[in-house]
Amino acid sequence: MKKLALTTLAFAALSLVTATSYAAKDDVLSHRCYTVAPEKAARDKIEAKRVAFVEGRRMKGQEAERAAGTVTIPVYFHVINKGTGVANGDITTAMINDQIAVLNSAYASTPFRFALQSVDRTTNATWYTMAPGSSAETAAKTALRKGTASALNLYSAAPGGGLLGWATFPSDYTASPKLDGVVLLNSSVPGGSSAPYNEGDTGTHEVGHWLGLYHTFQGACTNAGDSVSDTPAEKSAAYGCPVGRDSCTTKAGLDPITNFMDYTDDSCMNSFTAGQVARMDSLHLQYRQGK
């Protein structure tokens, strides 16, 4: 299990959008994730480059996979609110610290550790309700973003419409460095009010995208899938915690409902696969490490 004793609560849910590509969803639950991954041709190109990058490192005798806990990611947390108090989006220091603790627990089997560098607070009603791809998002991130490609910038806001958050992919950074980062619904952090998505795993899920993962149901029941060989095929997103669900009956394995990159309740999520860890590691090395 992923759980950890925190000062408020621990673990929440998911949603994502790239800065340049997103699609409106037709129901509130779908708004958990607003990000649309690149089209298959673009995904295939990214994957081919990743494989070539890993092979190039191996041929040079360089490490292909780093050990757990060996990479520290600096985190800059930007609290965007419309006034004082948690009800207005001004989440507490304890909630922020708990969110970082949730990330470190969830990513314990990966190379990544998250270290909070700073917290800033901005009262701006327009930025507070920013939508993915909007001028408000561009303005907020341009003004607030800190660090290099290897720095994780987390923005808490209240975009509305049931949206829990969105993120950019590693390969997006070069074209749009100022837009790089993760946006979280403020009430999805530990101790927030968006149950059953208020235990911090919106952050876990979105950071997974920021490190290069797609959804477990990417590509549905096709062989292409999420570009990770050890996540079972899944026809569509899972909600709640549907134990025994098997949406791709012609493929091996039950649906990966406990995976952080599905859409299940926070309490149901507790794992990444070894293949996902390797993918995150290689894409971080390729696009973020030292950049």
> 32 in helix, strand or coil?
helix
- Judge whether 43 and 21 are in contact, CB under 8 Å: no
> Burial, 62: exposed, middle or buried (Cβ in 10 Å; 0-12, 13-18, 19+)?
exposed
Active site residue: 137, 199, 206, 234, which one? 206
Strand partners, 79: 121, 156
Among residues 243, 184, 174, which one has the least CA distance to residue 209? 184
CB burial of residue 33 (10 Å; 0-12, 13-18, 19+): buried
Nearest residue to 271 (alpha-carbon basis) of 282, 281, 260? 260
Q: How far apart are CA 91 and CA 218, in angstroms?
A: 33
Q: Is 206 a catalytic residue?
A: yes
> Under a CB-based contact definition with an 8 Å cutoff, are residues 216 and 259 in contact?
yes
Tokens of 12: 């929440």
How far apart are the C-alpha atoms of 124 and 105, rounded to whole Å? 32
Q: Which residues contact 98 (CB under 8 A, 6 or more apart)?
A: 6, 7, 8, 9, 10, 189, 190, 191, 200
Q: Which residues of 133-169 are buried (b: 16+ CB within 10 A; e: fewer)?
A: beebbeebbeebbebeebbbbbbbbbbeebbbbbbbb
Q: How does DSSP classify residue 186?
A: G
Active-site residue set:
206
